[in-house]
Amino acid sequence: MRAAPSVDLADDQRQTLEQWARGRSLPARQVERAKIVLLSAAGLQDLEIAAELRISNQKAARWRKRFLAAGLAGLERDAPRPGRTPSIPAATVQRVVRMTTQGKPHNALQWSTRSMAAAVGISEKSVRRIWHAHGLKPHLMTTFKLSNDAAFAEKLEAIVGLYLNPPEHALVLCCDEKSQIQALDRTQPGLPLKPGRAVPEP
């Protein structure tokens, strides 16, 4: 039988693990993992730990290895699991978005979920989900606005990219005029100050 890798604990690690193993307010899985590592440090093999804690030897081996790889932090959280594979390829999603924002069906003024589903080859439910995820509402003609710029998406990504990931030591500012008010100089000089009159803005 192959021997499991040994576990050597520093004093602070052992103290923390012993606190976790006795903890009543901690998640049960964290308490169990602390016990696995303490028993591993005591020289027990995975089969012995499994029998002692009434768990599978695979679980004992997994958390022994996790501690050896990541220390105490590896016991506090589960390993990241891969997300579910998207049922609709990214290229199909991009095609739906592009057709919705840059084209029209040949026999109607705007796309419906049924016409888009038939054109792309996916279900109406999938079209509805893609539109919802991208905030697309082609049936609301009064509020749905499209840019005529063919490079609009690229320009948008470049601008948003400055906010999300600005260059090092750079300061990104956004300036715009207030709605219904043009940024012009005053046409009349401000009135002289007197009690009760506010100072005019420059």
Q: Which residue has the higher pLDDT, 78 or 9?
A: 9
Summarised one tens digit per residue, pLDDT across range 13-27 is 999 999 999 888 888
Between the CA of residue 188 and those of 179, 184, 193, what are the distances in Å? Answer: 22, 12, 15
Summarised one tens digit per residue, pLDDT across range 87-116 is 788 889 889 888 888 888 888 888 888 999
Q: Which residue has the higher pLDDT, 35 or 153?
A: 35
The pLDDT of residue 183: 62
The pLDDT of residue 197: 67
The pLDDT of residue 150: 77
Let me know the angle formed at the C-alpha of 69 by 66 and 60, rounded to the nearest 5 degrees.
Answer: 25
DSSP state of 134: T
| Residue ranges of domains in the chain | 11-76, 90-133
Summarised one tens digit per residue, pLDDT across range 28-61 is 888 999 999 999 999 899 999 999 999 999 999 9
- How many other C-beta atoms can be found within 10 angstroms of the C-beta atom of residue 18? 14
Question: CA-to-CA distance for 29 and 75, rounded, in angstroms?
Answer: 9
The amino acid at residue 182 is Q
The pLDDT of residue 75: 87
pTM: 0.42
Summarised one tens digit per residue, pLDDT across range 158-198 is 888 888 888 888 788 877 766 666 666 666 776 777 777 66
pLDDT over threshold 60, residue 143: no
The pLDDT of residue 17: 92
Question: Rounded to 10 degrees, what is the CA torsion of 114, 115, 117, 118?
Answer: 120
CATH dotted code for 11-76: 1.10.10
Kindly state the helix (H) or strand (E) to which residue 125 belongs, with its residue range. Answer: helix 124-133
The pLDDT of residue 61: 92
